[in-house]
């Protein structure tokens, strides 16, 4: 038997924090970046569900390896090329760990994470991922960290990030008010009750034909049952 914390730490050392593993993930491009991001979110999940299972040192290692590029593998450039939203979601996850008190990061680290996250949102658009999607408290936390130093450039970045998030949230509807994306919508020229004017009659006749077919099958089954019973 092994303690859970020991198993988790071993997995992190052999995968997420391991240079050779990272080099292997880089060979898989978009999917490799996405997998790295998922493991970072999993780390946050374990920290939430099993308090103390992830240490501040582990979070610092993730930050140093992927944001500060400890292994000199050109991580930010690679993420920008193959899957920029993966790094955006990773920085969002680290910021959320800080915001919710699971990682006691220093002010400089928080500022750097906020900058990298905000730059990604402005440049690539919000990822709308599991951690960052619709998380207004996280966005406000990052913006506050950028505004704290009193740097005009960082304050402008914070404003652009918030504007990009707001614009993305507002773009869920087009100019006619219909929801776009993978949502159901009534076709143009729809008649009352959800049927379009051109296809409503066809829809009703199809339903009537299906009902008649089902009724006919039921009659056949009943007659077959009587015949079988008489033969017995």
Using a pLDDT cut of 70, give the percent of the chain over it: 73
Instruction: Write 96-102 long-range contacts (CB < 8 A, 24+).
Output: 96/44, 96/131, 96/135, 96/138, 97/44, 97/47, 97/59, 98/141, 99/137, 99/138, 99/141, 100/48, 102/44, 102/47, 102/48, 102/54, 102/59
- H/E element, 103: none
Token pair 């944001």 is found at: 67
Is pLDDT at 155 greater than 90 in this prediction? yes
Digit-coded pLDDT (tens) for 26-51: 999 999 999 999 999 999 999 999 98
Digit-coded pLDDT (tens) for 159-177: 999 999 999 988 655 444 4
pTM for the model = 0.73
Q: CA 94 to CA 80: how far, in whole Å?
A: 18
Is pLDDT at 232 greater than 80 in this prediction? no
CB atoms within 10 A of CB 171: 11
Q: CA 194 to CA 69: how far, in whole Å?
A: 55
Residue 65 tokens, joined: 């390896």
Is pLDDT at 107 greater than 50 in this prediction? yes
Mean pLDDT across the chain, nearest whole number? 83
Tallying the residues shown for the chain, one arrives at: 232
Token pair 């709308």 is found at: 128
Select the more confidently predicted residue: 182 or 109: 109
pLDDT at 189: 46
Quote the DSSP letter at residue 168.
H
Select the more confidently predicted residue: 69 or 173: 69
Token pair 């740097």 is found at: 151
């Amino acid at each position: 038997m092994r303690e859970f914390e020991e198993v988790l730490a071993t997995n992190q050392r052999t995968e997420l924090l391991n240079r050779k593993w990272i080099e292997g993930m880089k060979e898989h491009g978009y999917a490799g970046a996405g997998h790295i991001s998922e493991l970072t979110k999993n780390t946050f999940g374990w920290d939430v569900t099993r308090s103390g299972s992830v240490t501040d040192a582990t979070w610092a290692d993730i930050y140093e390896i992927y944001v500060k590029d400890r292994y000199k593998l050109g991580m930010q450039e690679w993420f920008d090329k193959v899957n920029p939203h993966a790094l955006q979601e990773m920085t969002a996850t680290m910021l959320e760990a800080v915001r919710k008190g699971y990682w006691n990061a220093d002010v400089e680290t928080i500022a750097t994470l906020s900058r990298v996250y905000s730059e990604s949102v402005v440049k690539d658009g919000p990822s709308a991922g599991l951690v960052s999607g619709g998380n207004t408290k996280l966005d406000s936390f990052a913006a506050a960290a950028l505004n704290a130093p009193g740097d005009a450039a960082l304050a402008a970045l914070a404003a652009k990030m918030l504007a990009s998030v707001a614009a993305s949230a507002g773009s869920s509807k087009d100019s006619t008010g219909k929801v776009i994306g993978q949502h159901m919508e009534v076709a143009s020229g729809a008649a009352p009750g959800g049927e379009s004017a051109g296809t409503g009659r066809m829809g009703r006749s199809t339903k009537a034909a299906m009902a008649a077919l089902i009724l006919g099958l039921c009659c056949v089954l009943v007659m077959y049952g009587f015949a079988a019973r008489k033969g017995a």
